[in-house]
A and B are shown apart, each in its own frame.
Chain A
């Protein structure tokens, strides 16, 4: 069933009796060509592109809980491609282009809202670093705009320009950046994949991999054995746990990142604003809540909750640059588990086990990567060769010395 205004009109007049499930509640079959482990944003996007762009058939997504229950359901919804290193910028720009056509592509309104992303700078050297970054963006076809203070004032008159510890000098704006209704991304991909026959199997936890002579032949699950020619794993937050089932150790640590939403407010923020001298970024949802966050708590954690020092740090940053938001109230705070890789960049790669593919280590850049991650993973699984924009996301880059370290923090996951 296509979704459109006419359909809503028709259903509205007939008591909404005709709406069908957005995706079937599939039962596991004994065998598939391809199994994607993980029904989050990346897993569902992978299945969607496998079926829609790479003409693959007999695909299943297995999810231990309900789809979209991981980080795609608990993030701050930002999309952008304003990276400094080409290894990242090319990939995220590809992702942004996919976002731009996403709703029409999968016929679901995920509310891709390109209202701009601004990173504030507070010193000449920070400005110069942003120029370097902006030029990297431009070389990849993205849209950097350097704002001076006057230019920034026009867009964000409410910022604290005059009485703040780290004066705001300007910002690097990406007009095409913005936000997306995060849950809808999972549902849209699920629905689109389902319509192409992908089985989405919820409440089905992978408990092991079937590996014979170095070849992956399927998975053991809480709902029985499922065989497959290829298995792709996209389980952000649980990567180390799941890959340990295949005997692998990964170059990553799991950390908790907290996020916050305020009570609903009338429109007040133009887009996404990121503080350059503190840990704070914020946007406003269509419903009106200020959605904001900061830094990870900084210790390994699998608990989807954090602690007060970071809550205070984030709010201090917010009030420092945007003193009006002192009056907004935190409605809900939550934590998501980030697989923080050793250089702050992800992995999309084959493993040493034939037929087993891995996608993870997204740190807290995972949401904006969703479409490209799915697309590139689908291509890798289908063709065994990486997508051009994801070819640097190799598992062995640490052995070979090709780290992709945007922040220059080295093998210190909690600093990325």
Chain B
């Protein structure tokens, strides 16, 4: 009884030709059903290849599936669940599967031995990038990626459980049943689309039921339990730290299907039981890669599960008794000294040559070199499997398994059914769950006699996809590449899409033979995640396009958008960059107008993005003294002060103002960029450095909408908004004052008299929910002054005109002294960063200093990022004097101005030198000036 439904035919195409399969088929079984022999070409020699396996280990049958205008390359035909309308194509062939021009490489194979490319293509030198490499690249690669966005959606989810059972074969089913019956929260993940594992292929009686009946009964019971969740078509691809597993659930193979195509699960498991089964090994003999030479277990799978007979005459080459259940006409038992010496049939096996001289006509050879436990997940945390001589395979190292993991069944090297169930019982008992209902079954013990390789002159494939032959491995050894890792890297053994599932152990055995060591001494390679390949799109999930990262909108965003704002990304924030009014043509028109309006009348800017940290407690002042270079302890309530903050290594971290509302209450502002890191830094200082201080912190960045109102008419405008009982005259509320006020008839607000623009200016803050209303009120009230909103560009222009340092200057490498703020550092007190800021290299006379620059020829455009070179000096690195960090067109001055760091800049006012900009090809002679371009004495802001 097969697992395909012959009442449900499905149409599909392969390389443009129409075929029919059935529901329950994989693409591979459907192709075999239609007698399609050649399905792919190998990587290096472009040899015609057929289907070799029936599961995820398939090295040959890689195809592209097409849909929604794109294709998915390198899909294993053995894992694609057939669906109506599936369009599959072969890959890595030019122009067609039947005729591939790159097949000439097969005839050149004597010269294309392992690593040949390291020894040639070196002459002439220029040919590598132009000739050799492009040719190699075209021939290499497998499937193609279409240059179109991936149309599929991927979802993500988290799951928690007591027991994660990985694998839905007999061992996994029983383990899940035992745990489920005992009330554990169980997740059973099975990478196939039907549960049952090898029981679907190798019929055996369990509890007097047929295998399929037992599977059906077990699955039905599991489905009836609320505490058991079955994840079908879910590959557990990685075992990560602390019991976290990554798993990929495939919902459909159809590209562009509605809903999530796949779900990437993170499973948090207290315990895990690995029941991932085993993979059958091929045997290396001459021309063992022909279409029609398959794994014996795969032939049984196609026969029993899919009801596809691969051939009418099957020969069987084997070294173990497990293979005997394969229906075969000719048996070649290596244990009897027989083996295959060569084969014929380029596009499909025709005959095989036996060691006893017989030549047998057949189109199908089943091979079984024994079984390799699928130990991969046990290795993801650096446990290395150990060699078991009797079973001729690597088994998990039970001493070094990931925490909470047990391995059962074939994955643990148990290849005999009763023993498999015994291993489940042991694992279940270790979890303290009931194992009373233990199934009865019988089978002959697994017997294997290692047989890896038939020696000979011809090529015997070990890694089928990458075309690594036994000779390549011995040649690598001959050339000194004898460590396993060297062999792997030199020959590419095990580096194909199957990651050595069918090749690593055989390769290792051949290497062991060459080095005359045992396999155990030769070692093993590491298995790394993922167990089966995971689409990059699935790892990304929904975090793509606009949703790559969160978006933060300012309180005035809606209003700004309504009146023509262009927004700029500032971290996750979107801030208004400039706002177009009337027929302004370019951004410069708008920015100039915003600056002129602000300096001439009044402008409003949303500064809510600045970090705001509420600092309270008896020691709040003392705390600020520790984190700022200047003193805050003696700041009077009702006053603000500019503060500069250093990292402990003496470099400027951030700047901003802090306002003192009462003896025990300060409000700090930080730059937008550093809001998060300053808060973290403050909590570190509070909790880790000064735990005895009575101080508490909370970030209120998102609680307050804050607007800067700047310009000669700022006060007049605000007087229309702020309730009349609050006197904000220059006398009552002078420069650097702060206080609590109400606006618009009783709404609470905070007012700060701060200026970044250099004009008479205030910052007014209201609870964020009033932010939109306030900006509209402000603009309404400002109508008579022709008030405008100004964006970050105008903000930048005005701060450059004032010589204020911003992000370009506070770049994580500059000290207070570099910034010209050395005078701020209090000599009387310690603060974070003070000691290390005194280091020799940070205080030398020729260290850089922030100064201003203007072009000697006023019509020249100076550019940001230019480096300074003295007049007459050679333009090389040793003569570099510093760099330009900020540049703006000053509407007030009518020319470009710049800020920059210049070596010894404090003593070089008036000097002329070159600002060289190779990248923009713009070298300008500039003059060093004071960085305070506009109102250098700060008269405007105090009126």
**With a CB–CB cut-off of 8 A, which chain A residues contact B119?**
3-4, 7-8, 108-109
A135 and B919 contact, CB distance less than 8 A: yes
Interface string of A53-97 (1 = CB under 8 A from B): 000000000000110110001000000000000100110000000
Interface string of A113-125 (1 = CB under 8 A from B): 1110000001101
Name the residue in A73, A334, A410 with the highest tally of chain B Cβ atoms < 10 Å from its Cβ: A410
Q: How far is the CA of A22 from the CA of B150 in the complex (A)?
A: 45
Given A135-B917, A333-B529: A73 and B485 within 8 A (CB)?
A: yes
Q: Residue B528 contacts which of A89, A112, A125, A334 (CB distance < 8 angstroms)?
A: A334
Nearest CB of chain B from residue A262's CB, rounded to whole Å = 7
Interface string of B857-879 (1 = CB under 8 A from A): 00000011111000000011100
B808 and A21 contact, CB distance less than 8 A: no
B133 and A331 contact, CB distance less than 8 A: no
Nearest CB of chain A from residue B520's CB, rounded to whole Å = 16
- The A-B contact count (CB < 8 A) is 360
**With a CB–CB cut-off of 8 A, which chain A residues contact B843?**
401
Near A by CB (< 8 A), chain B positions 535-556 give 535-537, 539-541, 543-549, 551
- Whether a CB of chain A sits under 8 angstroms from the CB of B254 is no
Q: How far is the CA of A266 from the CA of B73 in the complex (A)?
A: 10
Q: Residue A164 contacts which of B485, B540, B545, B647 (CB distance < 8 angstroms)?
A: B545
Q: How far is the CA of A300 from the CA of B812 in the complex (A)?
A: 23
Q: How far is the CA of A311 from the CA of B647 in the complex (A)?
A: 30
Q: How far is the CA of A125 from the CA of B238 in the complex (A)?
A: 40
- Whether a CB of chain B sits under 8 angstroms from the CB of A157 is yes
Q: Residue A315 contacts which of B145, B149, B539 (CB distance < 8 angstroms)?
A: B539
A267 and B537 contact, CB distance less than 8 A: no
Q: How far is the CA of A113 from the CA of B128 in the complex (A)?
A: 7
Q: How far is the CA of A344 from the CA of B643 in the complex (A)?
A: 28
Among the stretches A217-225, A322-330, A359-367, the one at the interface with B is A322-330
In the complex, the chain B residue whose C-beta lies closest to that of A260 is: B536
Given A165-B546, A165-B548, A408-B812: A19 and B475 within 8 A (CB)?
A: yes
Interface string of B480-500 (1 = CB under 8 A from A): 111101100110100111010
B569 and A166 contact, CB distance less than 8 A: yes
Interface string of B887-917 (1 = CB under 8 A from A): 1000000000000000000000000000011
- Whether a CB of chain A sits under 8 angstroms from the CB of B74 is yes
Q: How far is the CA of A288 from the CA of B141 in the complex (A)?
A: 4
Q: How far is the CA of A340 from the CA of B382 in the complex (A)?
A: 23
Q: Residue B123 contacts which of A4, A13, A332 (CB distance < 8 angstroms)?
A: A4
Interface string of A299-321 (1 = CB under 8 A from B): 00001110110011011111110
Nearest CB of chain B from residue A314's CB, rounded to whole Å = 8
In the complex, the chain A residue whose C-beta lies closest to that of B900 is: A132
**With a CB–CB cut-off of 8 A, which chain B residues contact A210?**
none
B535 and A265 contact, CB distance less than 8 A: no
A266 and B142 contact, CB distance less than 8 A: yes
Q: How far is the CA of A303 from the CA of B379 in the complex (A)?
A: 13
B546 and A327 contact, CB distance less than 8 A: no
Interface string of A248-279 (1 = CB under 8 A from B): 00000000000000111111100000000110
Q: How far is the CA of A145 from the CA of B919 in the complex (A)?
A: 6
Interface string of B621-665 (1 = CB under 8 A from A): 000000000000000000000000001111100000000000000
- Whether a CB of chain A sits under 8 angstroms from the CB of B534 is yes
Q: How far is the CA of A32 from the CA of B938 in the complex (A)?
A: 71
In the complex, the chain B residue whose C-beta lies closest to that of A190 is: B480
Q: Residue A329 contacts which of B43, B146, B536 (CB distance < 8 angstroms)?
A: B536
Tier of interface size on chain A: 35 or more
Given A109-B118, A303-B382, A401-B836: A331 and B73 within 8 A (CB)?
A: no
In the complex, the chain A residue whose C-beta lies closest to that of B551 is: A165
Among the stretches B239-247, B330-338, B418-426, B734-742, the one at the interface with A is B239-247
Name the residue in A136, A314, A407 with the highest tally of chain B Cβ atoms < 10 Å from its Cβ: A136
Q: How far is the CA of A401 from the CA of B817 in the complex (A)?
A: 14
- Whether a CB of chain B sits under 8 angstroms from the CB of A397 is yes
Near A by CB (< 8 A), chain B positions 100-144 give 110-111, 113, 116-123, 125, 128-129, 133-134, 136-138, 140-144
**With a CB–CB cut-off of 8 A, which chain A residues contact B867?**
132, 135-136, 139
- Whether a CB of chain B sits under 8 angstroms from the CB of A232 is no
- Whether a CB of chain A sits under 8 angstroms from the CB of B920 is yes
Nearest CB of chain A from residue B353's CB, rounded to whole Å = 21
B481 and A288 contact, CB distance less than 8 A: no
A410 and B812 contact, CB distance less than 8 A: yes
Q: How far is the CA of A19 from the CA of B141 in the complex (A)?
A: 28
Near B by CB (< 8 A), chain A positions 334-374 give 334
A401 and B840 contact, CB distance less than 8 A: yes
Q: How far is the CA of A411 from the CA of B122 in the complex (A)?
A: 43
Q: How far is the CA of A330 from the CA of B546 in the complex (A)?
A: 23
A287 and B140 contact, CB distance less than 8 A: yes
- Whether a CB of chain B sits under 8 angstroms from the CB of A138 is yes
A136 and B111 contact, CB distance less than 8 A: no
A333 and B145 contact, CB distance less than 8 A: no
A19 and B918 contact, CB distance less than 8 A: no
Nearest CB of chain B from residue A74's CB, rounded to whole Å = 10
B118 and A187 contact, CB distance less than 8 A: yes
B70 and A410 contact, CB distance less than 8 A: no
**With a CB–CB cut-off of 8 A, which chain A residues contact B808?**
125, 128-129
**With a CB–CB cut-off of 8 A, which chain A residues contact B535?**
326-330
**With a CB–CB cut-off of 8 A, which chain A residues contact B116?**
8
**With a CB–CB cut-off of 8 A, which chain A residues contact B136?**
286
Q: How far is the CA of A145 from the CA of B921 in the complex (A)?
A: 11
In the complex, the chain B residue whose C-beta lies closest to that of A156 is: B147
- Whether a CB of chain A sits under 8 angstroms from the CB of B340 is no
B241 and A146 contact, CB distance less than 8 A: no
Name the residue in B138, B813, B839, B885 with the highest tally of chain A Cβ atoms < 10 Å from its Cβ: B813
**With a CB–CB cut-off of 8 A, which chain A residues contact B71?**
327
A325 and B140 contact, CB distance less than 8 A: no
Nearest CB of chain A from residue B390's CB, rounded to whole Å = 29
Nearest CB of chain A from residue B482's CB, rounded to whole Å = 8
Q: How far is the CA of A268 from the CA of B382 in the complex (A)?
A: 34
A330 and B918 contact, CB distance less than 8 A: no
**With a CB–CB cut-off of 8 A, which chain A residues contact B125?**
103-104
- Whether a CB of chain A sits under 8 angstroms from the CB of B447 is no
- Whether a CB of chain A sits under 8 angstroms from the CB of B880 is yes
Q: How far is the CA of A365 from the CA of B200 in the complex (A)?
A: 51
Interface string of B739-758 (1 = CB under 8 A from A): 00000000000000000000
Nearest CB of chain A from residue B428's CB, rounded to whole Å = 29
**With a CB–CB cut-off of 8 A, which chain A residues contact B149?**
160, 323-324, 326
Given A109-B117, A134-B865, A408-B811: A324 and B649 within 8 A (CB)?
A: no
- Whether a CB of chain B sits under 8 angstroms from the CB of A16 is yes
A316 and B540 contact, CB distance less than 8 A: yes
- Whether a CB of chain B sits under 8 angstroms from the CB of A213 is no
B120 and A3 contact, CB distance less than 8 A: yes
In the complex, the chain A residue whose C-beta lies closest to that of B572 is: A165
- Whether a CB of chain A sits under 8 angstroms from the CB of B530 is yes
A265 and B143 contact, CB distance less than 8 A: yes
- Whether a CB of chain A sits under 8 angstroms from the CB of B478 is yes
A330 and B548 contact, CB distance less than 8 A: no
- Whether a CB of chain A sits under 8 angstroms from the CB of B719 is no
In the complex, the chain B residue whose C-beta lies closest to that of A159 is: B147
Given A19-B475, A134-B919: A263 and B128 within 8 A (CB)?
A: no
**With a CB–CB cut-off of 8 A, which chain A residues contact B925?**
none
In the complex, the chain A residue whose C-beta lies closest to that of B806 is: A125
Q: Residue B74 contacts which of A16, A115, A136, A329 (CB distance < 8 angstroms)?
A: A329
**With a CB–CB cut-off of 8 A, which chain B residues contact A108?**
118-119, 122
Near B by CB (< 8 A), chain A positions 10-41 give 11-13, 16, 19-25
Q: Residue A122 contacts which of B382, B547, B569 (CB distance < 8 angstroms)?
A: B569
Closest 9 CB pairs of A and B: A408-B812, A326-B537, A401-B839, A131-B865, A326-B150, A21-B480, A288-B141, A401-B841, A315-B539
Please list 14 pairs of residues, one from A and one from B, whose beta carbons are closer than 8 Å in the complex, sorted by A's number: A73-B485, A108-B122, A109-B118, A139-B867, A146-B920, A263-B73, A268-B145, A287-B492, A308-B240, A312-B541, A323-B149, A328-B73, A333-B528, A411-B648
Please name 4 further chain A to chain B contacts, defined as beta carbons within 8 Å, in addition to the given A111-B133, A187-B118, sorted by A numbering.
Answer: A3-B119, A128-B864, A307-B240, A333-B530
